Structure 1
Amino acid sequence: MTLRRNLLRLLCTALTALPATSMLAATTSADPGAGIPGFYQQPEPLPVGNPGEVIRSEPVSLTLSVPTFSGPMPGTATRIMFHTTDTHTQPAIATGLILHPRNPWKGPGPQPLVAYLSGTHGQGAQCAPSLQIPGFIQYTPPLDVMAEYELPFLYALLLGGYQVVVPDYQGLGTAGTTAYLNPIAEAHVAIDAVRAAQQLGDPATATGPVLFNGYSQGGQAAGAVAEQLAAYAPELNVKGVVLGAPPVDLRPLLDHLEGGLLIGVSGYILNGLEANYPEAAQQLSTLINPAGRTMMNAVANQCSAETALRYGLHRSSEWTTSGLPLSRVLDDNPVTAGILDDLRLGQHAPSVPILLIIGDNDDIVPAAPARQLAQDWRQRGATVQLVQTNLPTILPGSIIGHGLNLLTTFFTTTLDWMHDRLIES
C-alpha cells in the first residue's frame, strides 16, 4: 500500500507539473552554454567488443527537483556506455543509466532487472533519458525545455526494490542521428543495455529475471524486443514484456498525428530514414520540399517539447513536394514503402508473456493497429493480455489522452502485472 500511495502522489505531481513545464524550467534552467558531458564522446577508434559489453561507466547524482518531492531519489545511478548493433546489425555504441534501489528487494525470487524503454524525448543529443533523469528538468533558452515525464514510474520501481536500466536510443547522447521509431535498432539497444547492466551488477543476479516495459516509442521498442529476443538474446531470463500505446505501423501513426501538437515528430522519422537507409535518402531528396527540409534540419537538434511548440498544429502536406500527406507520399513510393513494411511490428511471435495497453482516446498513437497486433500475435501462439483504458477523448491532438493513459492505466497496471510474472516463475 505504501508503494501505491507514493506512486499516486507522484502521478498527481506529474499531472500538475507537466502543463507548467515552462514555468518550472525558468527556476531550474541550466547554463545555456553547457554542452553534452565528455562521457558521451564516442571513443575513436571504436573499441572492439561484443554487444552489451561496457565501454565506460561513471556514478551519477540523482536529485528529484519536483515540488513536494525535492531531494534525493530512492536510489543511486550509474551512467554507462556499451556496445550494441545498429539497424543493419553493424557495430555501434549507445549510452544509458542504471538505477540501483536503496530499498532491498522483498518480492519473490532474486532481485529482478527492469529495462524501462522511454517514450519520445526528441532527437537532439541533450534529450537523452540518461541526461534528463538525474535533474528532472532541463532548459536552454528560448524553447529547449524538457521534463522527464516518466520519472514517477522510475521512482516507484526504485521504492519497490527493482533494479532498473534506462537505455538511450542510438544517437541520443552519442554521436549520429537517432533511428527514431526504428524497432530493429531500438530492440538491439534495449537488449544490450540489459546485458551491460548485468555485467556491472551483482554476479549472483547476472542471470536473474528480466522484465521489459515501455510506452509510446518505448512501447514500440518493447514490442520489438519481444519479437527479437529469441534470435538476438536467447540467454536472457525474460519473464514478460509490457508495451503501452506502441506505434505498430508508421503509416497510421503519421495520419493520426496530422494537425496535432506532435506532427513535428514526423521530421524525426524522416531524419531516421535518411540516416539509416541510403536508398530512402535518395528518394526523400525529391519527395520533401524546401520547407520540409528546413523542418527536418531544425528538429534534428530539438527535444519533443520544442518540436511541439515550433511545429505543432501543422499538416505534413506543407512539407512534401506533391502537397500530399506524408503517409501517402511514403506509401506511394516503392522504396520507402518497403522500408515501412520492414519497420512494422507483428512479423514475429513473441516467446514471452505480453501485456499490451491501449486506449481509443489516445490522440498520438492510434489504438486500432495495436489491437490488431494483439490478435496477430495470439494467432502465432503468443500469450497476450490486452488492457484498454476506456477513458474519454479530451481535446484531440493535444497529447492529453496519450499522457493520461500513461500516468494512470499504464503505470499502475504495469506494476501489478510484473509482480505477478515473478510469482509465476
Structure 2
Amino acid sequence: MSDSTSARGAVAAAATVFAAGDAPTGEAFYLPPQPLPAGEHGAPIWSAPLTGVAALVDAGVNERVLYLSETVHGEPTAVSGIIALPKTPAPPTGYPVVSWAHGTLGSADLCAPSRDTADSPAHPFNADPQPVLNALLRAGYAVVMTDYEGLGTPGPHPYLLGESEARGILDIVRAARALHPEISARVATFGHSQGGQAALFAAHHAPTWTPELELTGVVATAPASQIAAGFEASLLAPVTHEGFAFHPLFVTGAVSADPSIDPRAFLTDRAYELYVRDTESRCRVGLSEPDSWGGIKGTEIVRPEAVTGPDFRKLVERLAATQPALAIGVPVRIVQGLDDQRVNPAGTTALVDELRAINGADRITYVTYPETAPNPISPHFGVLHTDAEPLLSWLAERFDDQM
C-alpha cells in the first residue's frame, strides 16, 4: 500500500464530524455531543489549539482533539488527546508518527494530559516525559498522545484494559491524519509503564483495528506486567503502602472489561468506601495519600472469605488478561531500569522471555540500565531520559526511508 493511497483512505474513513471552529471551550470541550455523531472510529469530533503547560514547546502545532472510538463492548465513545506537529515542514512522504502512551495517572478526568495545569496533582507526571516528546518533534516526528478512554472524558477509565488502550492509541493517529493530511501512515507506538503495556497491545491490534496504518515498531519502557500475581501477593501484606493506590484502578479496569464483577462482593467495607469515594475524583498520587488507599493495609483490602468467590476470581482473571505477552508483527524494543522500584525488573525480564517465545528472539530487543538518570519523581521515570538518545536511534532505523 502506498503512503498516498493509505492517507486518502484514512481521511475518507475518519472525516471530521464538526467543522473547524465548532469546538466548545473550557471543560465543555470534553463533553461529547449527545447522541454521539455517526462516524468511523478515529473520526475527529472537534479540535482546538492547545496552550499552557500541556503544550509541547518544540511543536509548530499543538492541538487538543476529541475523536470517536469504540469500547470493547462495541459501543461508540469519545476519547480526548493531543496532536503535536514539528516546526519543520513535512517531508514529501509526510511526517512519520509516534503515538505516545502515557503512564498511570488515575481515572479522574482532571489527571488527563490534555487537561493538565500547573497546579494539577498529576502535573509532575504529565510534565516528566515532555523532554523526550519534544526530542521526537525536533527529530521530525508528529507526536500524538491519547488520554485513553474515560480519562479526560466522562466515564471510568478502563485501566490496563489492553484492547481499549490500543483503540485510543491507534484511533488518535486516524484523527490526526484526518485533520492533517501531511501526516504519514507510518507509525510507531511508544509508551512508559501503563503506556508500555498499552503500546504493546496497540501493536498487537493495529493490523486488524487500523489496517491502513503501517506500523514500523513498538517501544515499551518499564511496561506494566505480571499484574495478577502482584495484586494477589499484595493482599497478604499487613502494612500500608502508597502503591495500593493502583488497586482501585485494577478494579475499575476489570469491571470495565466485565461489568458482571461486583466489587462489593470482595472488597472490605473500608476498601469499598474508598473505591466509591476516591477513584473518580483523585489522581493516582492522591489515591496514595494516607487518608485514601495509601492508608489501608494489604490485608484490609479484600475480605478473606471472598478470595474463592466468583467475583474475586473473575477479577483475577481479568488482571491476568492485562499481561502484554502478545503476537506482534514488527520489531519490539523493551527498556527497563534495574533500579526501578515501581516496575519489577524481574517481571519485565519474564515478559521479554514470553515475547521472545511467541515472536522469536530476533524480533525482541531488550535494553537494561543498571542506573538511570536522577529524577525528581523516582528511577521509574528516570529510565525514559536515560534512554532518550538510543530511542531516537532505534526509531530512525525503523523509519529510515522517512527521515
The partner residue of 2:384 within 401, 406, 409 is 406
Corresponding residue number in structure 1 for 2:18: none
Partner amino acid, structure 2, of 1:307? L
The partner residue of 1:37 within 24, 27, 31 is 27
The partner residue of 1:88 within 73, 77, 80 is 73
Q: Deviations over 1:282-339 (max 9, x none)?
A: xx21210111112212132111222223443753322222299xxx779994322332
Please give the alpha-carbon distance, in whole angstroms, between the structure 1 residues aligned to 2:178 and 2:309.
Answer: 41
Inter-CA distance 309–285: structure 2 relative to 1 (3 Å threshold): closer
The partner residue of 1:368 within 346, 361, 366 is 346
Corresponding residue number in structure 1 for 2:260: 279
Corresponding residue number in structure 1 for 2:215: 238
Inter-CA distance 331–357: structure 2 relative to 1 (3 Å threshold): farther
Please give the alpha-carbon distance, in whole angstroms, between the structure 2 residues aligned to 1:323 and 1:146.
Answer: 40
| 1:304 equivalenced with 2:284 (yes/no) | yes
Q: State the Cα distance separating 1:417 from its structure 2 match.
A: 1.1
Q: State the Cα distance separating 1:116 from its structure 2 match.
A: 0.7
Please give the alpha-carbon distance, in whole angstroms, between the structure 2 residues aligned to 1:48 and 1:290.
Answer: 42
Tell me if structure 2 keeps the 8 A contact 1:58–1:78: yes
| 1:289 equivalenced with 2:273 (yes/no) | no
Q: Deviations over 1:393-416 (max 9, x none)?
A: 99xxx962312223323x333222
Q: CA RMSD in A?
A: 3.0
The partner residue of 2:246 within 247, 250, 265 is 265
Q: State the Cα distance separating 1:206 from its structure 2 match.
A: 4.2
Alignment of 1:12-23 (within 5 A): none
The partner residue of 2:87 within 87, 95, 102 is 102
Alignment of 1:376-391 (within 5 A): 376-382=354-360, 383-391=363-371
Partner amino acid, structure 2, of 1:416? S
Please give the alpha-carbon distance, in whole angstroms, between the structure 2 residues aligned to 1:414 and 1:256.
Answer: 33
* TM-score normalized by the length of structure 2: 0.82
Please give the alpha-carbon distance, in whole angstroms, between the structure 2 residues aligned to 1:84 and 1:117.
Answer: 16
Tell me if structure 1 keeps the 8 A contact 2:108–2:280: yes
Q: Deviations over 1:335-377 (max 9, x none)?
A: 223323333221x310111101123322112223332222222
Alignment of 1:5-404 (within 5 A): 37-63=27-53, 72-104=57-89, 110-132=94-116, 135=117, 137-139=118-120, 144=121, 146-147=123-124, 148=126, 149-202=128-181, 204-207=182-185, 209-254=186-231, 255=233, 259-281=240-262, 284-297=263-276, 298-310=278-290, 311-312=293-294, 314-322=296-304, 333-346=312-325, 348-382=326-360, 383-391=363-371, 400-404=378-382
Q: Which sections of structure 1, spanning at least 5 residues, go unmatched?
A: 1-34, 66-70
Tell me if structure 1 keeps the 8 A contact 2:337–2:372: no
Tell me if structure 1 keeps the 8 A contact 2:45–2:66: yes
Tell me if structure 1 keeps the 8 A contact 2:265–2:312: no
Partner amino acid, structure 1, of 2:110? Q
Inter-CA distance 331–126: structure 2 relative to 1 (3 Å threshold): same
Q: State the Cα distance separating 1:234 from its structure 2 match.
A: 2.3
Tell me if structure 1 keeps the 8 A contact 2:373–2:383: no
Please give the alpha-carbon distance, in whole angstroms, between the structure 1 residues aligned to 2:129 and 2:288.
Answer: 18
Q: Which sections of structure 2, spanning at least 5 residues, go unmatched?
A: 1-24
Tell me if structure 1 keeps the 8 A contact 2:105–2:122: no
Partner amino acid, structure 1, of 2:359? G
Please give the alpha-carbon distance, in whole angstroms, between the structure 2 residues aligned to 1:64 and 1:341.
Answer: 33
Q: State the aligned residue count.
A: 366
Partner amino acid, structure 2, of 1:385? T
Partner amino acid, structure 2, of 1:267? P
Partner amino acid, structure 2, of 1:46? L
Inter-CA distance 131–216: structure 2 relative to 1 (3 Å threshold): same
Inter-CA distance 165–365: structure 2 relative to 1 (3 Å threshold): same
Report percent identity of matched pairs: 27
* TM-score normalized by the length of structure 1: 0.78
- The alignment partner of 2:288 has SS state of helix
Runs of 4+ aligned residues of structure 1 deviating over 6 Å after TM superposition are 328-332
Please give the alpha-carbon distance, in whole angstroms, between the structure 2 residues aligned to 1:330 and 1:118.
Answer: 34
Corresponding residue number in structure 2 for 1:420: 397
Please give the alpha-carbon distance, in whole angstroms, between the structure 1 residues aligned to 2:216 and 2:42.
Answer: 19
Deviates more, 1:306-315 or 1:361-370: 306-315
Q: State the Cα distance separating 1:63 from its structure 2 match.
A: 4.9
Inter-CA distance 36–367: structure 2 relative to 1 (3 Å threshold): farther
Please give the alpha-carbon distance, in whole angstroms, between the structure 2 residues aligned to 1:273 and 1:292.
Answer: 16
